């Protein structure tokens, strides 16, 4: 078994958070008089750190982006966090990886308090030995920093670990920490985005992901 430690992104990798995240962003933007009629246009917000997305996508200032995240959370903490779906096959995948003796970890830019609630809500928290997310004050939101924190906290052997995610930030984070990576095509990063960043592996479906680890024995 080459990969004894498996790091998972959360949004777009374990769960499909589209409805909750886009509605929460829609709510936040409305506080600045920005009306978004089609929440699907806000899908690019899924994955990257939120404050960064408010700056890059809607040209918010540094100060306004922090305020926008606070407004986002007004909606998300009570409603949006549960407007979410577990991808079909995830529980089976996590169960199989656990039975194979692998150590599973969540590495997400979502605040740890929200990430843990999502895992609890879907009944998958027990599969993970550690959940590393960002802090509510916005620190530790960069994926490279998050993966580095996981490596230090859990004493991860990078040569026997792999990061799984659906956006380029996940793959860049793995690259920056000298770790192998799997970009998955069923989430929110396009094939063009993901292959351009050169992940160690690009797998389109959950079945391909399942097969990958079945063959890593």
φ/ψ (deg, to 5) at 111: -50, 140
CB atoms within 10 A of CB 153: 11
Catalytic residue among 9, 16, 142, 170: 9
Quote the tokens at residue 171.
């793959």
Residue 170 a catalytic site member: no
What is the rounded CA–CA span in Å between residue 214 and residue 26?
Answer: 41
Handedness of CA 187, 92, 217, 11 (dihedral sign): positive
Residues in the chain: 217
Give residue 171's Cα distance to chain centre. 11
Active-site annotation, residues:
9
């Amino acid at each position: 078994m080459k990969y004894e430690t498996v790091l998972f992104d959360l949004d777009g990798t374990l769960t499909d958070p589209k409805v909750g995240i886009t509605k929460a962003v829609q709510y936040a933007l409305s506080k600045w008089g920005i009306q978004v009629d089609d929440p699907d246009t806000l899908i690019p917000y899924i994955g990257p750190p939120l404050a960064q997305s408010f700056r890059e996508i809607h040209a918010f200032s540094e100060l306004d982006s922090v305020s926008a995240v606070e407004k986002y959370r007004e909606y998300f903490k009570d409603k949006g966090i549960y407007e979410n779906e577990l991808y079909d096959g995830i529980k089976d995948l996590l169960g199989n990886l656990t039975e194979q003796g692998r150590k599973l970890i969540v590495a997400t830019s979502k605040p740890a308090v929200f990430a843990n609630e999502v895992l609890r809500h879907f009944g998958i928290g027990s599969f993970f030995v550690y959940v590393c997310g960002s802090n509510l004050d916005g620190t530790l939101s960069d994926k490279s920093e998050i993966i580095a924190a996981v490596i230090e906290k859990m004493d991860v052997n990078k040569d026997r670990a792999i990061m799984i995610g659906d956006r380029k930030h996940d793959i860049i984070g793995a690259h920056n920490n000298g770790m192998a990576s799997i970009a998955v095509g069923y989430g929110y990063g396009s094939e063009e985005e993901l292959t351009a960043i050169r992940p160690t592996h690009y797998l389109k479906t959950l079945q391909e992901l399942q097969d990958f680890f079945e063959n890593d024995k």
